[in-house]
Structure 1
Amino acid sequence: MEDIRKQKQELRKQLRSAMKNLTVEDIEIQSKSVWEKVFKLPIYQNAKSVGLFLSMPMGEINTDLILQHCVQNGKDIYVPEVGKNFELCDMELRKVILDESNSDNGMFHKSWPKNKWNIPEPPDSMPTDTAKPGDIDLMIVPGLGFDRSCNRLGQGKGYYDRFIAKMTKDGQDLPLVAVALKPQLLVDGSQKIPVAEYDRKMDMLILPDESIE
């Protein structure tokens, strides 16, 4: 386990360095290409509810386009809430409750309060409707890095590992579609993300120029 932890730490340094080379324009262009591929997936088209992260300010695929698409197509959206105690490394997904006053064509999150990583989270004023196993038809998952076997490297806190485990207990299935920008895929086909027992392989990885299952 210690060896895997060190390998992951080294990979995170490499991937974060590579992501810094992307301009804002690069991120916007690549994000658009990714979401256009996601919109065509039958699993997305058939999903009534989607678990979806809200983008970090920099260094990550922009989720604005898919938020708009979900709202316009009447899909229920569940977004992460980490809460105030960041040391717990625990995460829930809360259903976004919208009405005419706050839907804002899918840009509702722009006015939300931000957590310590400057990521919007649901305001206290929004009704609390926390995801339970079976509530989410499709989970769209972020990550820092991926390999061609659909193994995922997260930021290191384990939020998604724990959440996915909670949502897949008692035989419940939660389809996992990961999305990433080009520098986040390990270039060497023989290079693998080191995995531990608790790491969950993604069902599919969508990149700007290819899809991997």
Structure 2
Amino acid sequence: MMQQTPEMNSTALKTAKTQLRSLMKQRLASIPPESIASQSGLTSLQQPGQIPPYVNAKNVAVYLSMPHGEIQTDLIVRDALSSGKRVFIPYLHKSGLPAADGPTRLMDMVSLRDVEDYEALQRDKWGIPSVDAATVNQRQRSVGELGGERSEDASLDLILLPGVAFDTDPSTGVIRRLGHGKGFYDYFLHRYTLAASEQDRAPGGRPSVLLYALALQEQFLPPSSEHTVPVGPHDQPIDGVFLGDGELRMSPTDR
């Protein structure tokens, strides 16, 4: 696979990401469902319930998982709702932007009311529980823009992200993430950064929201791997990743 260098142009970067996604797709397809279920239980029950970022978070955004190939988030959603947290989940909608001005589809985070609301979600063609568009205007949103209409933005304390592959930058120790290639989270985080108020910013100007990913053991590339996660200037580093063996890998706190 192509390795990233500081001079890697956009075409080479795109090619490197495509190659790694293809490799990981094959690797993830071979993981038995029992292993995914076991790893999801370890990640969900042992780690988030024990660390301050999750325990202290009042507003948590979390992806809703596909049936296969990634950590299942059902237990996390239920735990967060039952413990009194406000839970936000992804909602995809048309952006209304011309193709030349930005993505045609946007991802926002919209609130769940309770466990019953979560259980009533219908699965989409990928098997992911999805919000009914008819209910969106009854929900709190972050970032609060839909169809050109603004609503009060809900600030988030913690976002639990999906991903395809992860590793540690050998020079900085930062955890790097390769997404699915649609750019939904990258663009959401860009918009969230623009919308964040001064009180919602950490020293240095970045939003104070914490970014943690959930990953199967097979998705984390060790230093001995011949492959690395290629990143560009617009790829958002993350604060840490919960692995399916119960381990938590974190980026340096002074990044």
TM-score above 0.5: yes
CA contact (8 A) 1:51 1:78 kept: yes
| Matched residue SS, 1:51 | strand
| Matched residue SS, 1:47 | coil
Amino acid at match of 1:129: Q
Report how many aligned residue pairs link the two structures. Answer: 205
CA contact (8 A) 2:21 2:180 kept: yes
Alpha-carbon displacement from aligned partner over 1:76-114 (angstroms, at most 9, x marks no partner): 0000001367x724101001123xxxx34xxx4343133
Structure 1 unmatched ranges of 5 or more: none
| Matched residue SS, 2:189 | helix
- Counterpart Cα distance in 2 of 1:189 and 1:41: 28
The reply on whether 1:57 has 2:67 as its aligned counterpart is yes
The reply on whether 1:158 has 2:183 as its aligned counterpart is yes
The structure in which a higher percent of residues are strand is 2
Structure 2 unmatched ranges of 5 or more: 1-9, 96-102, 144-152, 170-174, 197-204, 251-255
The reply on whether 1:200 has 2:236 as its aligned counterpart is yes
Structure of greater Rg: 2
- The residue number in structure 1 matching 2:113 is 97
Matches within 5 A, 1:1-213: 1-35=10-44, 36-83=46-93, 88-98=104-114, 103-104=115-116, 108-123=117-132, 124-125=134-135, 127-132=138-143, 135-149=155-169, 150-169=175-194, 170=196, 171=205, 172-189=207-224, 191-209=227-245, 210-213=247-250
Please report the TM-score for the alignment, with normalisation by the length of structure 2: 0.75
Decide which moves more: 120-129 or 179-188.
120-129
Identity of aligned residues (%): 31
- Counterpart Cα distance in 2 of 1:50 and 1:34: 16
Please report the TM-score for the alignment, with normalisation by the length of structure 1: 0.88
